[in-house]
Amino acid sequence: MAGVSDRPFRMLCRQLGAGLTTSEMVSADPELRETRKTRLRLDHQGELSPVSVQIAGADPALLAEAARRNVECGAEIIDINMGCPAKKVCNVLAGSALLRDEALVSRILAAVVGAVAVPVSLKIRTGWDTSLRNGVRIARLAERCGIQALAVHGRTRADGFTGPAEYDTIAAIKAAVGIPVIANGDVDSPDKAAAVQAATGADAIMIGRAAQGRPWLLTQVEAFLARGERLPEPDLGSIGQLLLRHLDALYDFYGEAQGVRVARKHIRWYCASHPGSAAFWARVSRTEASREQRRIVDAFFSAPAADGMARPCTA
């Protein structure tokens, strides 16, 4: 979720019912330590506890040092990324590329767990590809190394985000270890969340892409899993107020120019399938001023439907 799960989005998700959010991936490369991007990713001001920070890399010593540095900056959980399928990450043998080298995985986990006093969690996929679906072995190894929770995206690295998620593999991983297992992959509704939890036996559900432009999904899933309560889709006006709150947080966090640029993708996600969104997007994508961007968004979400009915906007 690099470029998405920044501090403003994490704080919004926690407010809407997420039990835990994890930071954007922070590289262990010391040469990137003082960049503006990294500094922003280390900013946890105002976040609810526990603060979870995800680190990525392939060198055990550098990852251990990155874990220590992030704890000094406020991290209360360190999460290690061994699930990212992006080529630029895998090409430097980080992310899910690490799943091909179980000995290196063991050294990394032992180094990071030994470096910090806070809990360390791990995010993986079910394997590198269908010929190396080693999620169960990695999970057992992680437990032996002291990892305290494991999130599993139910696909191999080769699958990317296509094809059905392997909930049976997640179930096998859950059965193989005693630490909490978090199921991830294609959870886009309260019913799907309940079905995935039942199919996998997972201790928790992780939602990623489905919350982009639809963060109220977290409220709906939490209500359904906790109380069996079905919450309706919000009307257009309610979505508009939520988006404006999100935009204000982005402007405050990034500043005027970058805040407007970062906001564009979120605006597009919030309105992707709404009638009239193409013309609206053509207008809002051209503005460089936060006040004008905000005004256009407010006008779009405040406009009454032609039939006088409230209009849902789903992404």
pLDDT reported for residue 33: 78
Q: What is the DSSP letter of 5?
A: S
Assess whether pLDDT exceeds 50 at residue 308.
Answer: no
Assess whether pLDDT exceeds 70 at residue 252.
Answer: yes
Instruction: Judge whether 187 and 152 are in contact, CB under 8 Å.
Output: no
Average pLDDT over residues 100-113: 96
**Chain segment 168-209, per-residue pLDDT in tens:** 999 999 999 999 999 999 999 999 999 999 999 999 999 999
- Cα(47)–Cα(152) distance, rounded to whole angstroms? 25
Instruction: Judge whether 68 and 118 are in contact, CB under 8 Å.
Output: no
Name the nearest CA neighbour of 129 among 157, 152, 162.
157
pLDDT reported for residue 307: 34
Q: Give me the count of residues in the chain.
A: 315
Residue type, 34: E
Q: How confident is the model at residue 41 (pLDDT cuts 50, 70, 90)?
A: confident
Which member of 84, 90, 145, 313 is catalytic?
84
Residue 84 known to be catalytic = yes
Q: What is the DSSP letter of 161?
A: T
H/E segment holding residue 204: strand 204-206
Q: How confident is the model at residue 154 (pLDDT cuts 50, 70, 90)?
A: very high
Q: How confident is the model at residue 311 (pLDDT cuts 50, 70, 90)?
A: very low
Average pLDDT over residues 228-243: 94
Instruction: Judge whether 181 and 147 are in contact, CB under 8 Å.
Output: no
**Chain segment 72-82, per-residue pLDDT in tens:** 999 999 999 99
Beta carbons within 8 Å of 133's beta carbon, 6+ residues apart? 126, 127, 156, 169
Average pLDDT over residues 250-264: 96
Q: How confident is the model at residue 275 (pLDDT cuts 50, 70, 90)?
A: confident
Average pLDDT over residues 6-32: 93
Q: Which domains does the chain have, with CATH numbers?
A: 7-227 (3.20.20.70), 236-302 (1.10.1200)
Average pLDDT over residues 279-294: 91
Q: How confident is the model at residue 88 (pLDDT cuts 50, 70, 90)?
A: low
